[in-house]
Amino acid sequence: MDKSWQIVVMYILTHLGLLFFLYPANIIESSSEAQWIPIVIGVILHFVIVLIYLKGLSYFKNKNIIDIYSSFGKLWTILLLIPTGLYLLMINIIMVRAYSEIINIIFLTKTPLWAVMLLILSISCYLSMQELSAIFKTGFLLSFLFLPLVLFVIAISFQNVDWRYVIPIWSSDFSFIKKQSYLNSYFAIGGGFLFLGFIQPVLSFRNTRILIGLAAIVPAYLLSVYVPVLTFGQATAETFIFPYVAAVDGINISWLMFDRITMFFLLCLITFIMLFIALVLWKTVRITKYYIPILSEKWAAIGLAFFIYCICLRIPNWSDAERLFQINTPLRFYVILFVPLSIFGLGLWKKRKEGVNG
């Protein structure tokens, strides 16, 4: 069944959740002026990869990437499916650990970390144990509840901007490409789109509609970086761990009954993140299930969640969590580059073979 809109909504929600926390600081740290250049490079790369991925997937009607790789033999599954599984597992660990620390830093200062992580993981785990369509329907529901609020906050976050901070518009300094913080920014860019290859045949989609979702999220990339830069200026924005959150903190609306809208904004985004964790967990379960077929999906999800929880408990502090982003970098680029490319290549190969045979 065509569920394009649900998929588009899911795509937007997960990226909103990813973009407004760590991404701005990564970009601002990597380049001190004309931040749109690194952002646009990232976005273009994202577009190209997703397009290749979608094109590749379209050669295999109603098949997910596990079916595709396994139909081409063991070597492919070892080369690509295992790294993907590892990568997803690592994303999950990083997300749970990093976002519970973010919750700790920003609002629940005194709550123990284990409780926050337990809450995030148990909800996500429960969600991932449901059918795939349940996850997507939840996403749809969340978008009705929270998306208006998130958009409202994004709109008013322009309250304190000084447009003159946009200048200088051009910079010929491209050294950011080699910087670790810039590579870390791909955390928000890669990984979010992989689910497109997992959901078929349960949910099918039309490529053109997915592209609308892709385009809809582009302003968010720019806003998340430029709102803090325009509010504080580069020199000050650099000093924040969560620049966008700091910019939202400074909003002053006397007619709004709530004093700190940051809280609402963050809680909305955290629900999006829980949704994302659920989705990634579900993908990891699919891959695990492929290798250990006797395992029931429910127990696989619980087992994985427990494993993730244990690992997260072993990560003592924020700088270690940040190191994980760094360790994850080679695997991240391997997966986000080679999975779409290999699917595309295999698709072409299959088409040619069919062409010869037919």
**Contact set with other proteins (CB under 8 A):** 32-33, 106-108, 110-111, 115, 119, 160, 162, 164-165, 167-168, 232-236, 238-239, 246, 249-252, 254, 259-260
- In angstroms, the first-to-last Cα distance of the chain is 29
Residues ≥6 apart with Cβ < 8 Å to 327? none
For other proteins, the closer CB: 107 or 152: 107
| Residues β-bridged to residue 204 | 2
For other proteins, the closer CB: 54 or 227: 227
Provide, rounded to whole angstroms, the least separation between the CB of residue 101 and other proteins.
14
For other proteins, the closer CB: 106 or 341: 106
For other proteins, the closer CB: 79 or 106: 106
Gap between the Cα atoms of 98 and 96, Å rounded: 6
Provide, rounded to whole angstroms, the least separation between the CB of residue 174 and other proteins.
16
User: Which tokens sit at 160?
Assistant: 């304190």
Handedness of CA 345, 347, 349, 355 (dihedral sign): negative
- Tell which residue, 35, 99, 101, has the closest CA to residue 278: 99
Decide if 30 contacts 182 (C-beta within 8 A): yes
Provide, rounded to whole angstroms, the least separation between the CB of residue 311 and other proteins.
23
Gap between the Cα atoms of 261 and 253, Å rounded: 9
What are phi and psi for residue 2, nearest 5 degrees? -80, 110
Provide, rounded to whole angstroms, the least separation between the CB of residue 119 and other proteins.
8
For the stretch 296-326, what's the b/e string if a residue is b when 16 or more beta carbons lie within 10 angstroms of its beta carbon?
eeeebbbebbeebbebbeebeeeeebbebbe
Residue whose tokens read 């909504």: 9
For other proteins, the closer CB: 160 or 329: 160
Provide, rounded to whole angstroms, the least separation between the CB of residue 193 and other proteins.
33
For other proteins, the closer CB: 119 or 202: 119
For other proteins, the closer CB: 219 or 250: 250
Per DSSP, the chain holds a count of helices (H) and strands (E) of: 16, 0
Q: What is the SS3 assignment for 111?
A: coil
Q: What is the SS3 assignment for 5?
A: helix
Provide, rounded to whole angstroms, the least separation between the CB of residue 336 and other proteins.
32
For other proteins, the closer CB: 107 or 334: 107
For other proteins, the closer CB: 54 or 153: 153
Largest separation between any pair of C-alpha atoms in the chain: 71
Gap between the Cα atoms of 85 and 20, Å rounded: 26
Provide, rounded to whole angstroms, the least separation between the CB of residue 33 and other proteins.
5
User: Which tokens sit at 7?
Assistant: 């998929």
Q: What residue type is assigned to position 136 of the chain?
A: F
Cβ count within 10 A of residue 30: 20
Provide, rounded to whole angstroms, the least separation between the CB of residue 121 and other proteins.
14
Provide, rounded to whole angstroms, the least separation between the CB of residue 182 and other proteins.
18
